[in-house]
C-alpha cells in the first residue's frame, strides 16, 4: 500500500510517463509563471496526448517566452491557463475569451460575484463554437470526490442531507508573508483561497442555492484586518440542512494525543475532510415492520486524493414494529476510488492527480468528447462567488465594495483664504457626506472627495454616469487620473500600445474628458491635500504636504509626447523584481482617519513607467445599492454614521440616530455622478466601440 502510494506521488506529481502528442493537440499558453502551474498543468500535460504547453508569459522578460498580449494574439495558441493573482482573473479571462481562446481559470474564478456574473454570462460564451471556460475546481474531477457524492445522493441508503462539515487547513508558516494570498488588493484572503474548497464541498453536498450564512467568524491577519487568515462559517439551506466550514491557512496547535499547552504555536497538520450526516430514512416497510437506515459519510483528503484518501461510510439500520425496536445494527465500510468504476475516461491511471483528471475533462469538452460527465458550469461558478461574498459580508470583513463620492464646492473665490477657509469646508463636507453615505450603505466603505471646481467645468458626458446597481469586491477599476487628459498632451491614438509587453497591463482605454492642465493639477493637488490633511490631523501646510506628493504623470506629461496607454492603466502590474511583492504589508495603525493603505498611492503609484500595483481607492470600487442597504437597516435608525478611526480597514460604524426628515439636509443624490466612476463593463464596451474588440 505504501509503495503504491509512493508510485502515485512519483508518477502523478514528479515524473509521469510522456505521451506522444497528437498533431491536433491543444496548445496551451500560460499567463504567469505561477508556483502552481507545474503541478496543475505542466506535469499533467506531459502524459496527455492532446495537450502541449506551448508558451509561458511572465512579467519578467527573462522568464517569459512571450508577453501576455503576444500570447493572446498568437493564433497557434488554443487555450490559456490563468493562474494569476485573483484580482486579475476576471480581466484576463475576458481578454482571453475575446481573443477566442479556451480558458482554464484558477479558483476563485473572480474577485466577486458581479465579476463572475459578467464573465460567465458573457455573450461570447453563448455563441456556437464558443470558447470553453472552466473554473479549475480540480478536486471535483477525481473519482474519489464523485464516489463520496454518490454515497450521499445516489445510494438507496442515502436519506436527505441533515448536516455537513468541511475543513481545510494549511499549517502555520506554509505561506510566506508577502504571498499574494495575504494581499487585499490582489483579492487575497482565506475564503478566497483555501476556504473556497470547503465552501464548494458544502455546496456540492447540499445541492441547494443559496445557502443562508448563519454565522461567519474570521481571524484576520495581524495588521491587516481586511485579510482573513482563517474563517469558520455556518450555513443553512432552505430545507433546514446545516453546514459548517473551517479553514485556516496558518493553523497551529491542537495536535492529537498531546496536551494543547505543549503544542500551542506549533504548526498544525490536518487532512482536508468532509463529513456528512444524512437523515434517517425508510428502506422498506412490510408486515407491520419498518426498516430505516441512517448514514454518515466521511471523505478524508478531497484535495489530493491521488496521494491517499478514504471514504468511510457508516449505516445504522433499525427495524421497528411500531415504536418497538426489533433489530438494529451498523454497517461500516471503507472505500477508495483512484479510478472510475467503469472506464469513463480512456486510459486513466491510479496515479492521475485531480489536475490530470481535470485536464482530461477540459480537453474532452473542447474536443466534444463525452468524458466522465464531471464539469463545473457557469451557474456553479457564479453561485460559488456569491457564497464567498455572502460569507465575507456575514463576517463583517471589509468587502472591498467602495462608494466614492466626488463633488464640487463653489469656486475658491468665495472663500477668503485658501489656507484656512478652503480646507475646512472641504474636509467637513467630505466627512459628512461619506458618513451619511455610509449610513445608507453599511456594506460599503464610503469616501468622499470635495473639489473646488464646479463640476460643469469638467464637461463630463452624461452618458458616462456609472450604474449604481453594481457592487464590487476587490474590484478592477481605472485610476482616477486615467480619465483626465491634459490639454497640452495629445489625445492617444487608437494604435494599441505594445511597449508594455511582459506585464498584464490591461489595454482598456477610455475616452477622457480634456481638462486644462492647470485645472487638472489643481484638481489633483486639492484632492490630495484634503486626503492628506485628514490623515495628518487637519494640517494645512501646503508646502509640506505637496512635497510628499509626487504629481501624477498625466499632469507632468511632456507636451507633444505620446502617452503610453498601458502605463495609465488600472491593472498594470509591477515587474517581477519583487517590487509588488515586498512592498506590501502596509499598516495604517495609529493613523486615525487615514484612508485605506492605497489611497495616496492610487494617484502617485502609476507615475513610474511600470505602473502602480496597489489597490487604488480613488480608482476603486464605487458602487452602491443604496435602496437595498437602506431597507436592510435593522434598528430603524436613519441618518449619518460616524466612521470609526479605522475606517479604511474595518466596517465599524457609530450610527447617529434621527428621523429621515431631519437628516435630509445632505442628499448624496444631489451630486452628479462623475464619469470616472464607470463600471468596468462600460469601459470595455466603450473600448470596443472606439478601438474595436
Ligand X SMILES: NC(=O)C1=CN([C@@H]2O[C@H](COP(=O)(O)OP(=O)(O)OC[C@H]3O[C@@H](n4cnc5c(N)ncnc54)[C@H](OP(=O)(O)O)[C@@H]3O)[C@@H](O)[C@H]2O)C=CC1
Ligand Y SMILES: O=C1OC[C@@H](O)[C@H](O)[C@H]1O
- Shortest Å distance, C-beta 230 to ligand X: 16
83: partner contacted, choices ligand Y, ligand X, none (Cβ within 5-8 A by kind): ligand X
- Shortest Å distance, C-beta 184 to ligand Y: 16
- Shortest Å distance, C-beta 168 to ligand X: 11
Residue closer to ligand X by CB (options 82, 677) is 82
Residue closer to ligand X by CB (options 65, 157) is 65
- Shortest Å distance, C-beta 197 to ligand X: 9
State the Cα–Cα distance between residues 302 and 309, nearest whole angstrom: 7
194: partner contacted, choices ligand Y, ligand X, none (Cβ within 5-8 A by kind): ligand Y
34: partner contacted, choices ligand Y, ligand X, none (Cβ within 5-8 A by kind): ligand X
State the Cα–Cα distance between residues 357 and 6, nearest whole angstrom: 19
Position with the least CB separation from ligand X: 58
Which residues here bind ligand Y, judged by CB under 6 A? 193-194
Residue closer to ligand Y by CB (options 170, 523) is 170
User: Which residues, other chains included, contact 146 with Cβ-Cβ below 8 Å and sequence gap of 6+?
Assistant: 140, 337, 372, 374
Residue closer to ligand Y by CB (options 166, 677) is 166
- Shortest Å distance, C-beta 573 to ligand X: 4
Smallest CA-to-CA distance from 511 within 496, 491, 489 is with 491
User: Which residues, other chains included, contact 558 with Cβ-Cβ below 8 Å and sequence gap of 6+?
Assistant: none
Residue closer to ligand X by CB (options 59, 474) is 59
Residue closer to ligand X by CB (options 136, 409) is 136
State the Cα–Cα distance between residues 123 and 240, nearest whole angstrom: 36
Q: Are 255 and 266 in contact (CB under 8 A)?
A: yes
Smallest CA-to-CA distance from 569 within 499, 518, 513, 465 is with 499
Where is 229: in which H helix or E strand?
strand 224-236
Note the maximum CA span of the chain.
98
138: partner contacted, choices ligand Y, ligand X, none (Cβ within 5-8 A by kind): ligand X
Which residues here bind ligand X, judged by CB under 6 A? 32-36, 40, 58-60, 63, 83-86, 106-107, 136, 138, 180, 186, 193, 504, 573, 576, 580-581, 613
467: partner contacted, choices ligand Y, ligand X, none (Cβ within 5-8 A by kind): none
State the Cα–Cα distance between residues 527 and 597, nearest whole angstrom: 16
Position with the least CB separation from ligand Y: 193
Q: In 506-569, where does DSSP find H-type helix?
A: 517-535, 542-548, 553-556
State the Cα–Cα distance between residues 637 and 351, nearest whole angstrom: 60
Residue closer to ligand Y by CB (options 176, 685) is 176
- Shortest Å distance, C-beta 32 to ligand Y: 13
User: Which residues, other chains included, contact 550 with Cβ-Cβ below 8 Å and sequence gap of 6+?
Assistant: 604, 607
- Shortest Å distance, C-beta 224 to ligand Y: 17
User: CA triplet 49, 51, 52: central angle to 5 degrees?
Assistant: 115
State the Cα–Cα distance between residues 599 and 617, nearest whole angstrom: 5
32: partner contacted, choices ligand X, ligand Y, none (Cβ within 5-8 A by kind): ligand X
- Shortest Å distance, C-beta 193 to ligand X: 5
449: partner contacted, choices ligand X, ligand Y, none (Cβ within 5-8 A by kind): none
Residue closer to ligand Y by CB (options 308, 509) is 308
Pair type for strands 289-300 and 310-321: antiparallel
Amino acid at each position: 500500500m505504501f509503495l503504491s502510494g509512493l508510485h502515485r506521488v512519483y508518477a502523478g506529481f514528479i515524473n509521469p510517463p510522456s505521451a506522444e502528442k497528437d498533431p491536433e493537440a491543444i496548445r496551451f499558453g500560460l499567463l504567469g509563471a505561477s508556483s502552481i502551474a507545474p503541478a496543475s498543468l505542466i506535469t499533467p500535460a506531459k502524459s496527455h496526448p492532446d495537450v502541449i504547453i506551448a508558451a509561458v508569459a511572465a512579467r519578467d522578460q527573462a522568464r517569459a517566452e512571450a508577453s501576455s498580449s503576444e500570447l493572446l494574439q498568437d493564433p497557434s495558441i488554443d487555450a490559456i491557463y490563468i493562474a494569476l493573482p485573483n484580482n486579475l482573473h476576471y480581466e484576463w479571462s475576458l481578454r482571453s475569451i475575446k481573443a477566442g481562446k479556451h480558458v482554464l481559470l484558477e479558483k476563485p474564478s473572480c474577485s466577486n460575484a458581479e465579476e463572475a456574473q459578467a464573465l460567465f454570462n458573457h455573450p461570447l460564451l453563448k455563441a456556437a463554437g464558443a470558447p470553453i471556460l472552466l473554473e479549475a475546481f480540480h478536486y471535483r474531477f477525481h473519482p474519489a470526490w464523485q464516489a463520496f457524492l454518490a454515497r450521499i445522493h445516489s445510494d438507496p441508503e442515502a436519506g436527505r442531507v441533515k448536516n455537513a462539515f468541511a475543513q481545510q487547513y494549511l499549517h502555520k508558516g506554509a505561506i510566506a508573508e508577502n504571498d499574494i494570498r495575504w494581499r487585499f488588493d490582489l483579492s487575497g484572503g482565506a475564503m478566497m483561497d483555501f476556504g473556497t474548497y470547503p465552501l464548494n464541498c458544502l455546496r456540492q453536498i447540499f445541492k441547494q442555492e443559496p445557502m443562508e450564512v448563519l454565522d461567519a467568524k474570521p481571524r484576520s491577519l495581524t495588521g491587516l484586518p481586511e485579510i482573513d487568515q482563517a474563517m469558520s462559517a455556518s450555513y443553512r439551506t432552505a430545507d433546514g440542512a446545516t453546514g459548517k466550514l473551517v479553514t485556516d491557512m496558518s493553523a497551529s496547535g491542537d495536535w492529537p494525543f498531546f496536551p494543547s499547552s505543549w503544542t500551542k504555536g506549533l504548526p498544525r497538520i490536518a487532512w482536508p475532510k468532509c463529513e456528512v450526516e444524512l437523515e434517517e430514512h425508510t428502506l422498506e416497510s412490510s408486515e407491520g415492520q419498518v426498516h430505516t437506515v441512517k448514514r454518515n459519510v466521511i471523505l478524508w483528503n478531497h484535495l489530493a486524493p491521488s496521494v491517499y484518501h478514504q471514504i468511510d461510510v457508516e449505516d445504522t439500520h433499525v427495524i421497528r414494529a411500531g415504536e418497538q425496536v426489533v433489530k438494529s445494527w451498523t454497517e461500516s465500510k471503507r472505500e477508495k476510488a483512484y479510478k472510475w468504476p467503469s472506464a469513463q475516461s480512456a486510459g486513466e491511471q491510479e496515479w492521475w492527480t485531480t489536475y490530470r483528471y481535470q485536464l482530461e475533462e477540459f480537453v474532452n469538452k473542447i474536443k466534444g468528447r463525452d468524458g466522465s460527465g464531471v464539469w463545473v458550469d457557469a451557474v456553479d461558478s457564479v453561485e460559488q462567488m456569491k457564497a464567498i461574498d455572502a460569507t465575507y459580508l456575514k463576517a463583517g470583513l471589509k468587502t472591498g465594495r467602495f462608494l466614492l463620492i466626488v463633488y464640487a464646492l463653489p469656486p475658491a473665490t468665495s472663500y477668503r483664504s485658501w489656507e484656512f477657509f478652503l480646507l475646512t469646508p472641504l474636509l467637513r463636507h467630505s466627512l459628512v457626506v461619506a458618513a451619511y453615505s455610509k449610513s445608507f450603505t453599511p456594506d460599503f466603505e464610503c469616501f468622499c472627495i470635495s473639489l473646488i471646481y464646479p463640476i460643469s467645468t469638467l464637461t463630463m458626458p452624461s452618458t458616462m454616469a456609472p450604474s449604481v446597481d453594481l457592487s464590487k469586491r476587490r474590484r478592477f477599476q481605472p485610476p482616477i487620473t486615467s480619465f483626465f487628459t491634459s490639454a497640452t498632451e495629445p489625445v492617444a491614438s487608437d494604435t494599441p500600445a505594445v511597449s508594455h509587453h511582459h506585464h498584464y497591463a490591461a489595454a482598456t482605454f477610455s475616452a477622457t474628458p480634456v481638462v486644462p492642465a492647470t485645472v487638472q493639477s489643481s484638481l489633483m493637488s486639492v484632492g490630495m491635500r484634503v486626503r492628506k490633511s485628514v490623515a495628518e490631523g487637519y494640517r494645512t501646510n501646503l508646502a509640506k504636504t505637496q512635497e510628499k506628493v509626487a504629481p501624477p504623470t498625466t499632469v507632468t506629461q511632456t507636451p507633444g509626447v505620446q502617452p503610453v496607454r498601458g502605463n495609465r492603466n488600472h491593472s498594470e502590474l509591477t515587474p517581477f523584481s519583487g517590487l509588488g511583492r515586498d512592498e506590501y504589508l502596509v499598516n495604517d495603525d495609529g493613523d486615525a482617519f487615514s484612508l485605506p493603505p492605497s489611497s495616496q498611492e492610487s494617484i502617485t503609484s502609476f507615475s513610474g513607467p511600470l505602473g502602480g500595483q496597489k489597490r487604488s481607492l480613488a480608482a476603486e470600487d464605487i458602487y452602491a445599492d443604496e435602496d437595498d442597504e437602506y431597507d436592510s437597516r435593522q434598528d430603524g435608525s436613519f441618518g449619518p454614521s460616524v466612521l470609526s478611526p479605522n475606517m479604511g480597514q474595518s466596517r465599524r460604524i457609530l450610527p447617529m440616530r434621527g428621523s429621515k426628515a431631519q437628516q435630509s439636509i445632505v442628499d448624496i443624490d444631489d451630486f452628479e455622478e462623475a464619469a470616472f466612476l464607470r463600471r468596468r463593463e462600460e469601459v470595455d464596451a466603450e473600448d470596443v466601440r472606439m478601438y474595436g474588440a
